[in-house]
Amino acid sequence: MAEKSKQISIWDAKIIKRATIDAFIKLNPRTMLRNPVMFVVEVGSVLTTLELVRGLIAPVAGVTNTLFELQITLWLWFTVLFANFAEAMAEGRGKAQADNLRKARTETTARRLLPNGKTEMVNAPQLRKDDVVIVVAGEFIPGDGEIIEGVASVDESAITGESAPVIREAGGDRSAVTGGTRVLSDQIKIRITSNPGETFLDRMIALVEGAERQKTPNEIALAILLAGLTIIFLLAVVTLQPFAIYSSAPQTIFVLVSLLVCLIPTTIGGLLSAIGIAGMDRLVQHNVLAMSGRAVEAAGDVNTLLLDKTGTITLGNRQATEFIPLNGIEETELADAAQLSSFADETPEGRSIIVLAKARYNLRGRELAPHEAHFIPFTAQTRMSGVNYDGREIRKGAVDAVERYIVASGGSTVPELRGIVERIAREGGTPLVVAEGRRPLGVIYLKDIVKGGMRERFNQLRQMGIKTVMITGDNPLTAATIAREAGVDDFLAEAKPEDKMALIKREQAEGKLVAMTGDGTNDAPALAQADVGVAMNTGTQAAKEAGNMVDLDSNPTKLIEVVEIGKQLLMTRGSLTTFSIANDVAKYFAIIPAMFAAAFPVLNALNIMGLRTPQSAILSAVIFNALVIIALIPLALKGVKYRPMSAASLLRRNLLLYGLGGIIVPFIGIKLIDVLIHTIGLA
Amino acid sequence: MTANGWLQILLFFAITFALTKPLGVFMTRVFGGERTFLHPVLRPVERLLYRLTGVDETREMRWTEYATAMLLFSLVSLLLLYLIQRLQGVLPLNPQKLPGVDAASSSTGFAASAFNTAVSFTTNTNWQSYVPETTMSYLTQMAGLAYHNFTSAAVGIALAIAFIRGIARRESATIGNFWVDFVRCNLYVLLPICLVGALVLVSQGVVQNFRPYDTAKLVDPQTVEVDKKDAAGNVITNADGTTQKERQTVTEQTIAQGPVASQEIIKEFGTNGGGFFNANSAHPFENPTPFSNFFELLCIFAISAGLTYTLGRMTGSQRHGWAVFAAMTVLFFVGIAVSYWAEARGNPLLAGTDQTASALQPGGNMEGKEVRFGVANSALWATVTTDTSCGAVNSMHDSFTPLGGLVPLTNIMLSEVVFGGVGSGLYGVLIYVVLSVFIAGLMVGRTPEYLGKKIEAYDVKMAMLNVLIFPLLILVLAAISSVAPSFGTSQLNNAGPHGLSEILYAFTSGAGNNGSAFAGISANTYWYNTTTGLDMLFGRFFMIIPMLALAGNLARKKTVPPSLGTFPVTSPLFTTLLVSVIVIVGALTFFPALSLGPVVEHLLMRACQTF
């Protein structure tokens, strides 16, 4: 995956500054209420603040300990602020992306076509759906639309970050254009397909800013779990006071709130929305635009990937891989003739023949002066191409065409030739017969080349429990060969759009989730049916509307990355939840002995960290609890490291890392903070 | 600890393990409506019952219907028991001529004790705030209490089966028929085994009769000191407020009788635990020999262990059933090891006394234990009865060392999922499974799935509701009692941390539907009868309703076929995870309260202070 220039550093100074301010603005209780865990912390902070003020006005001898109380209160507020900061950071990164996009939405004027055939100049925002505009070279396209007349090269770098221009033309699957992109050549007539504020760019900006962010299903479920845990801990702490009174060891509000805040899952509670926003953000960085967070999560759950053969699995062009001479012909002679005939052939197939001849037989390119060589181009009628050079007449092409040529030149067909041709076809390749005059020389073996690294990719997917299905228009024989070579689990040959649709429905009936990519209008129903439908940005408007994601790079392989991002999003949530809960064990060992140190000195046996004083123990736990939020912001924004492996090994790895780690880390952290604040003399 | 003690514990567990599969297979067949070897005899009876009651056995119920049927049945049963208690004075089978329960307090309009007992037996708790020998007639014991021992157990098992169906079925609106499950459970599982089991107990000396109580002359007359009363029966007090005492010589002993064996067997097999006598399974007529003790222990674990196998069978993932069994096994051995160790070590404050086990003495802490059971079998009994919701006792938990007493308390606080109450243990642990799968399932990067069922917001909500009820009841009620001198702490016989343990234990035992008592607390008061009554009622039914809602929702879902990317619920890793979640959730909830109870008491005991 090429890293795009859109990548924003985690610690961008501007974003941090804005996030810091936002963290305070988010203290508004109405905003906080959306996050019950952090709302409880805020209420606790308010309570301790009031108590602190009361203590300052009317201190109670032997109870009031202003330094300790002030520090607890401050750190509680920090806990809330740190969580707000995390969310603001994630939003800030989104906003920075959005700003980049907004620059693309420069105010332009448009040439609107009137019914009488004349044009008028209007501002772009005045354009409505179904208006028709004319855009000429050098102008910006004023809105999303479909070309209804003409062909043009368009610079889409504002959206995709890709500087090479792309061709857009009326009719077919490359007719969609996006507002904010620029026409480089020619003139096109466009029918506008969206109203202002609803354009692709608008939606994209809203998405990355998180303005329309709705909680995803898993996020809601997790939020319920966290709220439930918060209530349980609230019960545990609220009822602890009566038990403490029974034991003649009543506690101050500072200690009780500290215990509560340390126990409730503030780590995940504080980072939950940041994780969600960052997940969308990561997709945008990969130039994929999800229409909803739900789709991103669904990507993580995908069981079956439908991949188009051409462009996704294979390079899309056939390449020469072998020269097969007839009996009695030297392989070098065939290669030489093949190379000669291809010098003028600019197709990828032709170039691959030259390259193969050079690589195999060290046949260098020769200077063929135009007066000595006469190139015969390929036509649909002859279905051959070739060269007349130095008295030689070399032809290459489909077997029927070349045989006709040989017979016409006075030669005769060789049965052996048919045999070779049929064998190649059977193996899924394309045979190209070469003849010189009336003498057949042999066959060039053209093959669909599977992209490098695909086999490993599919292996990884298999380990993750994802089945890959190759979709191709090839005959079953050819399809099977390529499927075997690429290592996909299954294939659909001679696929028509209906077949694709049927396959998706069949998989879904088994309870599986299906992801696919598509670009054509005839892909639209399948894209809509699939659980994750990634439309290519070069595709038609219908395809883009049917899918729930759009890939701006129009790279079908990216589906695999989309799946990984979806998984990473869920894994990050799960890991931090586990970490957060596991943390509580150490906090109990810090706070409980400290609370009852006066009433029951024997409880110091539970102070296994050997914390210096009760105040220092409680303070250290609260500080650790606050700092861990800050420390985990990068992890929340970047996501936990994803490695393709089976669920069992993933689980083992993450349980060790975040479960066991979550138990151990706070013991060390709290002890270190205790030593530090004791040394400074804060407690 | 002795090798002999451990040998008995291991033998007990080995037989439990051996029983798991046969019983599990048998229950799968029974609840699946398949033929068993009992069918030739019992199937006609089953049909007849349906014809008499108008139940259509082919009709399936949605979870709401299932819940309604179960609640209605429980309510009617509860009222029935209440009435039997109140009216026993005029009903037959009452050779001791005992008056109606709460006859004295009927002027207040609310018979707290009768209410408490009715709730207690309906909820499979069997908390007993009364003294059975002097309160309940034979009719009440049999038609009231033993009846509930069967039905409350059958309700629990039926619910567990319904929950398993929820997991196993796909795209189904229904989870079975409550009446059918209930009838089959009683007819094929509980009654036949209890019939045989009762005879085994009789062979050991457990009584079974309708005779009036026997009177025996004491070989060695005893002198006791009692409050001196005036002619009107009022206690005479001295000027300083103390009561005047007088000496009394006792020459006779009353020996209670009754249909004990028939009630004793279902008391263990249905994890009920309510004793026929006040001394419960410490009484020689309930549990006369080491063999009867061993046999009763096996009965307590049998059904719950078997249900893990049924879980595997019905869901088509036998290894999952065993993984759950393994998690329970781990927790069982941790409990028994701590409890046996703590009791066998004895009391450090009795430093000069020989507390080591030898041929002549069991050693360790023998206070409150029966000599015929010794330390190992007392610790094992306490662990097994609190792992499950049995609540029977063969020794006094109140007299255990603080750590020895912490084990039963903690076992119940983990919501009795170590095999657990019949049925309730399984659906309890499955709630934890759902939560474990949800938390850890996210870590594999998929929407969490449990045996192919996606765990979504609604499921988490129901699971959390179920988990929440438990600490809510225990902590709130115990907190109120601990700071209320007039009605809460005044009933305590011990001060300090031990007193707090007693209060905590009472409400934990109630909410967990265990029924065992830490004693030391006089719970037969208006406050405790009412609150523990509500504690038991809510602890049972408020946890069942979200559980059934979860089952209904799971049943409706599609099943996603398992793949390499699916969370594995069959591996040792899953077992470890499940154990961790159970321990961490339980520990995090109750650690603060426990630290002021048994934990500090243990530390203080080491510092030479007792309560």
The residues that bridge with A445 in the sheet, in sequence order, are A322, A431
Residue of B nearest to A294 (CA): B447
**A523 labelled catalytic:** no
Q: Tens digit of pLDDT for each residue in B317-362?
A: 999 999 999 999 999 999 999 999 999 998 888 877 888 888 888 8
Determine the Cα–Cα distance for residues B338 and B355; give it in Å rounded to an integer. Answer: 18
- Residue with the bigger pLDDT between B422 and A1: it is B422
CB contact under 8 A, A642 and B444: no
Among A579, A602, A655, A657, the residue to mutate for chain B (most B Cβ within 10 A): A602
Q: Tokens standing for A611?
A: 């914390």
Nearest neighbour of A584 by CB, restricted to B483, B573, B588: B588
Q: Tens digit of pLDDT for each residue in B255-301?
A: 999 999 999 999 999 999 999 999 999 999 999 999 999 999 999 99
pLDDT on residue A461 = 82
In this predicted structure, which of A305-319, A485-499, A517-531, B29-43 has the lowest mean pLDDT? Answer: A305-319
Instruction: Tell me the chain B residues in contact with residue A644 when contact means C-beta distances shorter than 8 Å.
Output: none
The residues that bridge with B217 in the sheet, in sequence order, are B252
Determine the Cα–Cα distance for residues B483 and A34; give it in Å rounded to an integer. Answer: 36
Q: What is the DSSP letter of A311?
A: I
Q: How many CA atoms lie within 13 A of A301 on its CB side?
A: 25
For every residue of B356-400, DSSP letters joined together read S--SS---S--TTB-TTTHHHHHHHHHHHHHHTT----SB-GGGS
Q: Tens digit of pLDDT for each residue in A203-239?
A: 777 776 765 567 888 889 999 999 999 999 999 999 9
Determine the Cα–Cα distance for residues A627 and A466; give it in Å rounded to an integer. Answer: 38
**Long-range contacts, stretch B172-176, CB < 8 angstroms, 24+ apart:** B172/B555, B172/B556, B173/B62, B173/B555, B173/B556, B174/B60, B174/B61, B174/B62, B174/B555, B175/B60, B175/B61, B175/B62, B175/B63, B175/B66, B175/B548, B175/B551, B175/B552, B175/B555, B176/B31, B176/B60, B176/B61, B176/B66
**3-state SS, one letter per residue, for A127-139:** CCCCCEEEEECCC
CB contact under 8 A, A511 and B441: no
Q: Which amino acid is at A81?
A: L
* CA–CA distances in Å: residue A252 to residues A214, A238, A258, A615, B373: 40, 12, 10, 12, 48
pLDDT on residue A200 = 72
Determine the Cα–Cα distance for residues B108 and A473; give it in Å rounded to an integer. Answer: 87
CB contact under 8 A, B592 and A650: no
* CA–CA distances in Å: residue B266 to residues B146, B392, B420: 7, 12, 16
Rg of chain B's alpha carbons, rounded to an integer?
Answer: 24
CB B466 within 8 A of CB B432: no
Query: Please, what's the b/e burial string for A304-336 (b: 16 or more CB within 10 A of its CB; e: otherwise)?
Result: bbbbbbebbbbeeebbbeebbbbeebeeebbbb
Residues 6+ apart with CB under 8 A from A352: A317, A318, A319, A320, A446
For every residue of A155-176, DSSP letters joined together read E-HHHH---S-EEEESSTT--E
Quick one: which of A147, A141, A128, A136 has its CA closest to A541? A147
Token pair 């995940």 is at which residue? A268
pLDDT on residue A1 = 34
**Shortest Cα distance from B558 to chain A (angstroms)?**
6
In this predicted structure, which of A327-331, B388-392, B400-404, B547-551 has the lowest mean pLDDT? Answer: A327-331
pLDDT on residue A593 = 93
Q: Tokens standing for A250?
A: 């009543």
Determine the Cα–Cα distance for residues A675 and A667; give it in Å rounded to an integer. Answer: 12
Token pair 């499927």 is at which residue? A483
Query: Please, what's the b/e burial string for A172-185 (b: 16 or more CB within 10 A of its CB; e: otherwise)?
Result: ebbbbbbbbbbbee
Nearest neighbour of B603 by CB, restricted to A218, A571, A605: A605
Token pair 């470890």 is at which residue? B576
On the question of pLDDT at A192 being above 60, the answer is yes
Nearest 5°: phi and psi at A304?
Answer: -130, 130
Quick one: which of B360, B169, B550 has its CA closest to A224? B550
Q: What is the ipTM of this complex?
A: 0.92
Quick one: which of B592, B610, B391, B589 has its CA closest to B498? B610
- pTM for this predicted structure: 0.86
Is the CB of residue B521 less than 8 Å away from at least one CB of chain A? no
pLDDT on residue A107 = 67
Is the CB of residue B207 less than 8 Å away from at least one CB of chain A? no
- Helix ranges (H only) for B447-571 are 457-482, 496-511, 526-556
Average pLDDT of chain B to the nearest whole number: 92
Determine the Cα–Cα distance for residues A652 and B24; give it in Å rounded to an integer. Answer: 31
pLDDT on residue B40 = 95
**Shortest Cα distance from B476 to chain A (angstroms)?**
6
Nearest 5°: phi and psi at B477?
Answer: -65, -40
Q: Tokens standing for B5?
A: 């003690």
Residue of A nearest to B497 (CA): A247
Determine the Cα–Cα distance for residues A313 and A461; give it in Å rounded to an integer. Answer: 14
Residue B363's pLDDT band (cuts 50, 70, 90): confident
Instruction: Tell me the chain B residues in contact with residue A241 when contact means C-beta distances shorter than 8 Å.
Output: 479
Nearest neighbour of B500 by CB, restricted to A222, A247, A464: A247
CB contact under 8 A, B471 and A236: yes
Q: Tens digit of pLDDT for each residue in B126-148?
A: 999 888 999 999 999 999 999 99
**What average pLDDT does the segment B175-198 reach?**
96
Using DSSP bridges, classify how beta strands A467-471 and A490-492 pair: parallel, antiparallel or unpaired. parallel
Among B169, B170, B431, B444, the residue to mutate for chain A (most A Cβ within 10 A): B444
Average pLDDT of chain A to the nearest whole number: 85
Instruction: Determine which helix (DSSP H) or strand (DSSP E) holds A53, and give its type and residue range.
Output: helix A36-57
Determine the Cα–Cα distance for residues B235 and A219; give it in Å rounded to an integer. Answer: 67
